[in-house]
Amino acid sequence: MPSYTAPVDDMLFLFEKLRDNKNYNELEKYNEVNLDLVKDILEEAAKINQNLILPLALAGDENPAKLENGVVRTPPGYKEAYNKYIEDGWISLSCDPKYGGQGMPKTVSAFFDEMLSATSLSFKLYSELTIGAYNCISHHASDEMKDKYLPKMVEGKWSGTMCLTEPVCGTDLGMLKTKAVEQPDGTFKISGQKIFITSGDHDLTENIIHLVIARAADSPPGTKGISLFLVPKFILNEDGSVGPRNGVSTGSVEHKMGIKGSATCVLNFDDAVGYMIGVKNKGLSQMFTMMNLERILVGIQGLGISEIAYQNSLAYAKERKQGKTNNTKSTNGADFIIEHADIRRSLLNMKSIIEGERALCFWLSQQTEVSLNHPDEKVKKEASDYVSLMTPVVKSLFTDLAMEIINDAMQIHGGYGYTKDQGIEQLYRDNRITPIYEGTNSVQAADLVFRKLSNKNGNIISKFLELIKTECDSKNEKVKIFSKELNYYLDILSKFTDWINDKSKEEKDDVSAAANDYLKTLGFVSLAYTWIKVLEVSYNDYDKNKDFYDDKINTAKFYFEKVLPRAEYHYKSAISGSSNIMNFKFN
């Protein structure tokens, strides 16, 4: 089983030194969320993840969730861990105190999400979808519905799901077949089948609140006719207690490559009682409140799994002897593999990407809070645009790079990495879903280039590039060296953006073929931007903590020298166009 130590020091560094968003710091509701409080939260979070949740990863892999006599059973130890988890209030960390939550900002909860992803992604998914459903209900439901369902969800006694995918449709939700028939009392009878439903059924909570998209009888075809419904596993009694079983049943549990402890279900809705959330035919936009949050969280899943893969690779490289280096230090015929240049390159590649991702995620968390809570509507819209722009980047880049990092981790472990003993192969299998679910990474890339670069508020990408240039115009001579390098890649990204905009008018296949390359170029440049912010602090505060800041400076150097140049490769590859791709004749 892999070992794990939560990177609390790095998280606290970000919270203390990179909490530099002026608009975020104007949010009065978080005035009392100071460094000492966050330190206490993260240290306790580290303990529960390292001691209680980490062992669940292997337990869930060896004893997958299973369907027995119509009931889904979670792996051994899950119930006990879940009870402790909700007893300590972890599920309520970022929820509104009005419903029993602790009201922590995403600048804190994102760190906890990373720890959970690293220790046991399967276990995490049982509560992650609950928080997603909570957010959707809290944004779009009536006050009566919020008061009825949210307190128990925040407490963790009830869980939540997101029911979109059907056998006939995945990404193209306009094709859905699930029907909603209105009843005289204003409720709806929901009938249809949903597949690949994460945490669709289990034995951890006394009720499960399904958020289901369906089409009412009088609604138009396509995505314009989709409505959103709350469909509980058990209907509530008048006093709010759990009542009779609703018309929801589990058809099967998927047998998966990874995240085996998570119950991925086929759900059948047979005249199930449902309650419409918000306005009829606006269900897809309402569900996107949940989906967009989930996409960022999936990126964080990739980050967390990358971190545990890196930690175990570093530890293994320090203890495994194999071969001699050019400047051998061995007196008995072999050196530790960490002395080999290629191993060191792999480890630094992991480290520079992971720490850059964590910093970018922290930047995005601040923007998210501003987009939700700032009193100035103009400021909120601008932050919302940045969140919209970066959501597909975080989801796709972090998960794609996680596959690369875990692959390198397996290579560092050699034959042992391919066996179950070290746990690396499980990390590979568990992470493999992250580039697929919540919209495949290619869909995310298409969404970015066709929808996110500009909107009714203007040219978002240009605003973002200008923001980077302004914030990276350092007065520190040592940082200027890196800023100059970043400017070179900003020019490439600007040219790439112009090329995308031009091709969008005349040859959309070129844009489709280039979408993944564009997303990665934007992603690598964005990571460089956050590394500049880290460097600014590192050089200015160097004497306060030389060892810590030396580590940051040298890791940043590696990123700029060895990783950032990949942005230019993606640009050059993309602008070759799509003619050969589209004209190629497959036999």
Q: Tell me how far apart the alpha carbons of residues 242 and 400 are, in angstroms, rounded to a whole number.
A: 42
CB 194 within 8 A of CB 274: no
CA-based R_g, the chain, Å:
24
For 76, the token pair is 């051994």
For 273, the token pair is 């009682």
Distance from the first to the final alpha carbon of the chain: 46
Exposure string of 124-152, with b = 16+ CB inside 10 Å and e = fewer, is bbbbbbbbbbbbbbbebbeeebbebbbbb
Q: Tell me how far apart the alpha carbons of residues 533 and 20 are, in angstroms, rounded to a whole number.
A: 10
- For helices 377-413 and 460-471, the axis angle rounded to 10 degrees is 80
Please provide the DSSP assignment of 272-336 as one string.
EEEEE-SSTT-HHHHHHHHHHHHHHHHHHHHHHHHHHHHHHHHHHHHH-B-S--TT---SSS--B
**Percentage helix, strand, coil for the chain under 3-state DSSP, each rounded to 5:** 60, 15, 25
Nearest alpha-carbon partner for 54 in 125, 131, 121:
121
The angle subtended at Cα 21 by Cα 20 and Cα 27, nearest 5°, is 115
- From the candidates 155, 254, 425, 438, give the one annotated as an active-site residue: 438
β strands within 217-287, DSSP E: 226-232, 234-236, 242-245, 248-253, 264-276
Compute φ and ψ for 182, nearest 5 degrees: -70, 140
Q: Tell me how far apart the alpha carbons of residues 207 and 488 are, in angstroms, rounded to a whole number.
A: 54
Compute φ and ψ for 163, nearest 5 degrees: -110, 95
307 is catalytic: no
Compute φ and ψ for 253, nearest 5 degrees: -115, 130
Name the residues annotated as catalytic. 438
